[in-house]
Amino acid sequence: MLNLIEMSRSNERTQQQSTASRGGRAAAFAALALALLMTAIAAQPAAAKTPKDFFGIFAEGPTKKDYRGMGEAGFGTNRVPVNWAAIQGSRNAPYDWSTSDQGVYSTAKNGMRPSLVVYGTPKFVHADTSKGLYGPKSKQDLKAWREFSEALARRYSPNGDYFDAVPEIDHLPVKKWIAWNEQNSKNNWVPKPDPKAYARLVENFDKGISKVDPKAEIVLGGMYGSPRDPESMKATKFLDRMYQVRGIEKHFDAINAHPYASDNGEIKKRIDELRSVSKRAGDGNVDLLVGELGWASKGPARSDLVVGEKGQADRLRDGLELLAHKRKKWNVIGAYVYTWRDFPAGQLACNWCPWSGLVTKKSKPKPALRAVKKVIRKSR
């Protein structure tokens, strides 16, 4: 391009070559415009590269076929539920690891890293759980919770003994530990959400896990953005009140959003609001896990999360791409899709969830599965 400009200046020395001079300047301008265009194209964001375990999935009551399908789809993480009540029946009883072993084993066998969401109310904490989950609050119960958390780490963490005992599966120990689930919901923290009591649960969870694995990533339970139930608490309000417990930010590495909304613009807004709460609390560099992201392909018309098969595919594609591109700016450590397979209505209180799967109840792929697989493939 420099040579063209010099040629133009040389041609200007004679009137006879004036036409050639104008042509030279035009060529130089065209070359400059082309160079600027190529620079602009190069500046466009390429597909964001993500770690293998960035994209995760969760399945309600997964079968062997489900585990295989999730692994083949390219998910690097599977969120495995660990119910304390199913593992410890009484205060001094030994732990029965059969249910958690099954989830961890099937996850790793299919090439995914298990991320454990730990919750549950044993009868020695609260006998009647018909109204929902009761978090441990007394010193005795919090001690039992801390001991249970430590036992989990001694089994499934990189410093645990489980994976050495099952060499036939990939060595994929747990690195992300999620403390409870949707604790800002009245159903998951009866009789009503209690940020300060939950903070004590997180503190004891961290002390138990980190005693075994100091490098463990302690993640808050996923918070539903704006529950419509007046007895539940908005995620931002819950997080703000939890931060009022002095020193609590030292006991977790990541906040956890379940930012369900009709579209990705609203999801971005909810994530920004949560991050703003952390920033005001002096914890602006905290990591973020999007522990659930999903829409339903059909269901009750009154729900704005029921968007049809195409809408489900488009929103999941755009949402996952958004989180991948914002990974560094927002400190996103993972994006988990809810859910793998449709399930019978009435199984959960959620009225749209039964149709939020990437595959139908009979495991027939929906357009959303193809869209998600494409995002995962492009992001690696």
pLDDT at 349: 82
Give a three-class secondary structure readout of 280-333.
HCCCCCCEEEEEEECCECCCCCCCCCECHHHHHHHHHHHHHHHHHHCCCCCCEE
Name the amino acid, one letter, at 138.
Answer: S
Q: Which is nearest to 154 in space by CA: 142, 164, 166, 143?
A: 164
Q: Which is nearest to 295 in space by CA: 270, 320, 326, 263?
A: 263
Record the tokens describing residue 29, joined without a space: 């301008």
pLDDT at 227: 87
DSSP H helical segments within 120-194, as ranges?
139-156, 162-165
Cα separation, 43 vs 330, whole angstroms: 21
Q: What is the residue whose two structure tokens read 């539903």?
A: 224
pLDDT at 226: 87
Q: Do 176 and 333 form a contact (C-beta atoms < 8 A)?
A: yes
CA separation, residue 223 to residues 193, 195, 292 (Å):
11, 12, 9
Q: Do 312 and 289 form a contact (C-beta atoms < 8 A)?
A: no
Which positions ≥6 away from 171 have C-beta within 8 Å?
108, 163
Q: In sequence order, what are the beta bridge partners of 338?
A: 58
pLDDT at 48: 66
Cα separation, 144 vs 149, whole angstroms: 9
pTM to 2 decimals?
0.87
Name the amino acid, one letter, at 153.
Answer: A
Tens-level pLDDT at each residue, the chain (380 residues): 433 333 333 343 334 444 444 344 444 444 544 444 444 434 444 456 999 999 999 999 999 999 999 999 999 999 999 999 999 999 999 999 999 999 999 999 999 999 999 999 999 999 999 999 999 999 999 999 999 999 999 999 999 999 999 999 999 999 999 999 999 999 999 999 999 999 999 999 999 999 999 999 999 999 999 888 889 999 999 999 999 999 999 999 999 999 999 999 999 999 999 999 999 999 999 999 999 999 999 999 889 999 999 999 999 999 999 999 999 999 999 999 999 999 999 888 899 999 999 999 999 999 999 999 999 999 98
Which positions ≥6 away from 236 have C-beta within 8 Å?
273, 274, 276, 277
* Helices 139-156 and 98-109, axial angle in degrees (round to 10): 40
pLDDT at 315: 98
Q: Do 308 and 297 form a contact (C-beta atoms < 8 A)?
A: yes
pLDDT at 47: 52
